[in-house]
A and B are shown apart, each in its own frame.
Chain A
Amino acid sequence: MSILVIAEHDNSSLKQATLSVVAAAKAIGGDIDVLVAGENCGAVAEAAAKAEGVAKVLVADNAAYGHFLGENLGELVAEVGKGYSHILSSAGTTGKDFMPRVAALLDVAQVSDIIRVESEDTFVRPIYAGNAIATVKTSDSIKVVTVRPTGFDPVAAEGGSASVEQLDVVKDAGLSSFVGEQKAESDRPDLASAGIVISGGRGMQNGDNFKMLEQVADLLGAGIGASRAAVDAGFVPNDMQVGQTGKIVAPQLYIAVGISGAIQHLAGMSDSKVIVAINKDEEAPIFQVADYGLVADLFEAVPQLEEELKKVL
């Protein structure tokens, strides 16, 4: 068996999610190659070559891949991947965009968002917002699979010494072009890989009040998330949404503030190791999954939390 892992990156650094995908590849077993497609992405290729368990890094460095357009990546990965038994990527928004194209071009099914490997052709994935867990077996010769990074502990980022090979495959479908982007700049840890996440919901009332959460997050080195209601109301940007249709997180500690605990929200955080809920409504469903529940007004509790943390940290 030979597995091609598609690296997730921003042309300058390798996303930790890729290390979790390599871990999923190891669970399948076989030779693991990593494809780094991007523009001026040499540093990413170097990082990928150091990851534990990687045999070879293939680099497709071209302007056509600079913005990870699904049409171009789809053609590239379908061509490079057709000699492999498995093609894996993370189930981030880039992987979700191009991988189904790869599957369709290869005329195979895709298994989305797996959280466990049972065998070479059998995988476990959540459905219905995580309210059911399905074990699915694919009969296709090439298995196209997206991986939920929180399902797999990342392999070590250092220690490997894979060879690096430049590919000379340029696929420019000419169907789409990049116009612009609005990236939320923040020094805070990435939500998907943060060890601690503190999230606010509709109970926060407005975007300014999220500053209270930022102060706590700064003390804890935490990432900040939100419920859909908080994003829809315009308190915070879309990329902070945690849930079935937002980001999936599984930190050591998840603190939900002013969040009721709708199933769609729980789908994104219920694999967290420890869950804390702060909510003034003692009937709020979030308390049914919380390890520690505090029934309190968040406008009193969050500043107190900041003070108490300062004492012990």
Chain B
Amino acid sequence: MKVLVAVKRVIDYNVKVRVKPDNTGVDLANVKMAMNPFCEIAVEEAVRLKEKGIANEIVVVSIGPKACQEQIRTALALGADRGIHIEADGDVQSLDAAKLLKAVVEKEEPKLVILGKQSIDSDNNQTGQMLAALTGMGQGTFASEVVVDGEKVNVTREVDGGLMTLSLNLPAVVTTDLRLNEPRYASLPNIMKAKKKPLDTMSPADLGVEIASRLTTLKVEAPAGRSAGVKVADVAELVDKLKNEAKVI
């Protein structure tokens, strides 16, 4: 079966973001960018399905500026077969991302679409569910285990209070949680090979989708910082402070 994986280019998770002084956003100039960690997990899951002989082709898609091709190449180096870059320079919000991905789904007809559960920049946690709704597919969100079984897929989900397992008809959408797998690193030979793998570029217009911002970011501010408090000498002092100073016990 064919698996489609959506990957997003985001700020590297190790970078401490800084809000711009004019409060229009966060400073992304000269900041290290990387594949969203949840998307790495999505790519890894697809590659494992291929290694098990369940998937036979992995197509990876990213929406964003030209630089996203780096993340597509990374996915190709990890084992994806082919890339699609949907070039969009401005603000592509979740609903539009989902509409673009829907158009790709209609062209490619994958059996399984794997996305990250959230991107660590906008922390929206929406795109996979929106894509599933628009395409009329079932969804297994926050997956910690994915088992393909004929025309069904069983997805174990990390939910409040524990784990929950669903059975979904294929085709289906899965969004990854942290413990689904541990992504591998790309080897140098595979990075070289990835450069020769096919990568198509298209525009939202090619896919018949018009990008329409519905959400306007009015301002972005730094959070009210917490300052370091005091160090206590021992446990007795700690308990005394909690009881008599902070009055929280």
Contacts and interface: CB of A to CB of B under 8 A. Distances in A.
Interface in A272-313: 273-276, 282, 287-296, 301, 304-305, 308-309, 311-313
A104 B130 contact: yes
A128 B248 contact: no
B187 interface: no
Interface stretch (B77-85, B92-100, B103-111): B92-100
B226 A182 contact: no
Nearest to A15: B160
Nearest to A186: B161
Contact of A140 (B16, B130, B214): B214
A128 B154 contact: no
A224 B80 CA distance: 40
Contacts of A129: 120, 123
Contacts of B17: 128, 131-132
Q: Is the interface of B mostly helix, strand, loop or mixed?
A: mixed
B164 to A, nearest CB: 4
A228 B178 contact: yes
Band of interface residues on B? 35 or more
A196 B229 contact: no
B51 to A, nearest CB: 22
B223 A176 contact: no
A21 B142 CA distance: 23
B236 interface: yes
Contact of A113 (B123, B158, B246): B123
B123 A128 contact: yes
B221 A133 contact: yes
A90 B208 CA distance: 34
A67 B163 CA distance: 12
Contacts of A312: 239, 243, 249
Nearest to A122: B218
A267 B56 CA distance: 39
Interface stretch (B42-50, B63-71, B131-139, B191-199): B131-139
Contact of A253 (B134, B177, B242): B242
A278 B102 CA distance: 49
B218 A137 contact: yes
B230 interface: yes
Interface residues of A, number: 94
Contacts of B13: 264
B179 interface: yes
A176 B169 contact: yes
A173 B166 CA distance: 14
Interface in A68-89: 69-71, 74
A101 B127 CA distance: 9
B235 A112 contact: no
B221 A132 contact: yes
B166 A131 contact: no
Given A94-B160, A239-B158, A107 B118 contact: no
B217 to A, nearest CB: 5
Contact of A133 (B136, B214, B222): B222
Interface in A5-50: 10
B203 interface: no
B62 interface: no
A91 to B, nearest CB: 8
Contact of B218 (A105, A128, A136, A291): A136
Contacts of A132: 17, 19, 26, 220-223
Nearest to A74: B133
A183 B162 contact: yes
Interface in B127-181: 127-134, 136-142, 144, 154, 157-169, 172, 177-179
A112 B125 CA distance: 8
A263 B215 CA distance: 27
B22 interface: no
A175 interface: yes
Contacts of B230: 291-293
Interface in A205-258: 220, 228, 231-232, 237-239, 244-245, 247, 252-253
B232 interface: yes
Contacts of B118: 245
Given A97-B139, A175-B169, A245-B118, A308 B217 contact: no
B154 to A, nearest CB: 6
Interface string B206-249: 00000000111111111100101111101110110111001011
19 contacts: A92-B160, A97-B142, A103-B126, A104-B134, A105-B133, A109-B94, A113-B123, A127-B121, A132-B19, A132-B220, A136-B217, A176-B169, A177-B166, A181-B163, A252-B248, A253-B242, A292-B229, A304-B236, A308-B236
Interface of B: 11, 13, 16-17, 19, 26, 38, 93-95, 98, 117-118, 120-134, 136-142, 144, 154, 157-169, 172, 177-179, 214-223, 226, 228-232, 234-236, 238-239, 241-243, 246, 248-249
Interface of A: 10, 67, 69-71, 74, 92-94, 96-105, 107-113, 122, 126-140, 173-184, 192, 196, 220, 228, 231-232, 237-239, 244-245, 247, 252-253, 263-264, 270, 273-276, 282, 287-296, 301, 304-305, 308-309, 311-313
